[in-house]
Amino acid sequence: MLKIPAFCQVLSINMKQSIKINFLALLLLLSLPSLAQDEYPFTYGEELEFEVSYGWFNLADATMKIGKKAETINEKPHFKIDVFGKTKGAATIFGRVNDNWGTIWDMESRLPSVSYRHIEEGKYRKHEKVFFDQQKEKARMQLFDKENKFLKEEKEYRLPGKVQDIVSGFYYLRTLDLSNLQVGDTVEILGFFDKEIYNINLIYEGQERIETEIGEKDTFIFSPQIPKNKLFRGEFPVTVWVTQDQNKIPVKIKANLFLGSLNLELKSARGLRY
């Protein structure tokens, strides 16, 4: 069993980054053949709830929500999608986390028009918006003060192509046809998050039937290739299980750390289309 001092170190240094990377793993599943435009496997009002754990310790809750109605940008309908992450229980001793990542996602192009982050981690605050011009391959980032009232900084970034953000990538994944993948297939993907371009290989590992809180599910398994760092163990430290049914929801994510592993598991799903 992991000793308490080592556990505390993992929480204080690695937990926030690990939760973020688990969601980033979903971003990496982007550039496979998609379904026809009207075949969205999700709809307004859908809500997925996850629990984040480290060994026997339940660290945080995470929720993914689709707005109950469309947002309109440039006369085009968009999904408004939010992800919330919040520490709970003993984990709050080492610093409270109350984060919100969001995207406003063009239903036609299946690309983000706007992404935003509201980060509260201990005393740290960050409020950020990114406006994407996918046609001109540009992103305009706005950074606000701690109270999210005044604009502090604005900067434009050139993009190497059309990109997804950390939240939109997950929902784009769910529109893809995964049925024809062969074990070992490698996909190179492109995403923009936290002022950086991500270009990482995603490996299809096969299929597995697993027990979940919403029943037994047949799943696809993916492992994104993560650049070497001090947080993760091995070249493919993150594994993602996605259901093979029409909803294509992630039911489990496992990240192997240098000390133990971090797990994110689906606890409930409401408002599913199928």
Read off the pLDDT of residues 115-145 as tens digits, 9 standing for 90 and up.
999 999 999 999 999 999 999 999 999 999 9
Q: Say how many residues make up the chain.
A: 274
pLDDT at 34: 46
Give the chain's mean pLDDT: 84
Minimal CA–CA distance to 251: which of 239, 267, 266?
266
On the question of pLDDT at 200 being above 80, the answer is: no
Residue range 171-184: average pLDDT? 85
SS3 274: coil
Count of other CB atoms within 10 angstroms of residue 257: 18
pLDDT given at position 173? 76
Among the ranges 35-44, 142-151, 164-173, which has the highest mean pLDDT value? 142-151
Task: Map out the domains of the chain as residue ranges.
Answer: 4-270
Question: What value does the mean pLDDT take over residues 29-35?
Answer: 43
Q: How far apart are CA 167 and CA 83, in angstroms?
A: 7
Rounded to whole angstroms, the Cα distance separating 130 from 197 reads 14
More reliable by pLDDT, 76 or 33: 76
CA distances from 144 to 97, 117, 150, 207 (A): 19, 10, 5, 44
Q: Give which of 86, 99, 88, 94 is closest to 7, Cα–Cα.
A: 94
More confident residue, 3 or 205: 205
In DSSP notation, 174-210 reads: TTB--TT--TT-EEE--EEETTEEE--EEEEEEEEEE
Residue 261: band (very low, low, confident or very high) from pLDDT cuts 50, 70, 90: confident
Give the pLDDT score at 95: 81
Sign of the Cα pseudo-torsion (141, 146, 147, 149, in order): negative
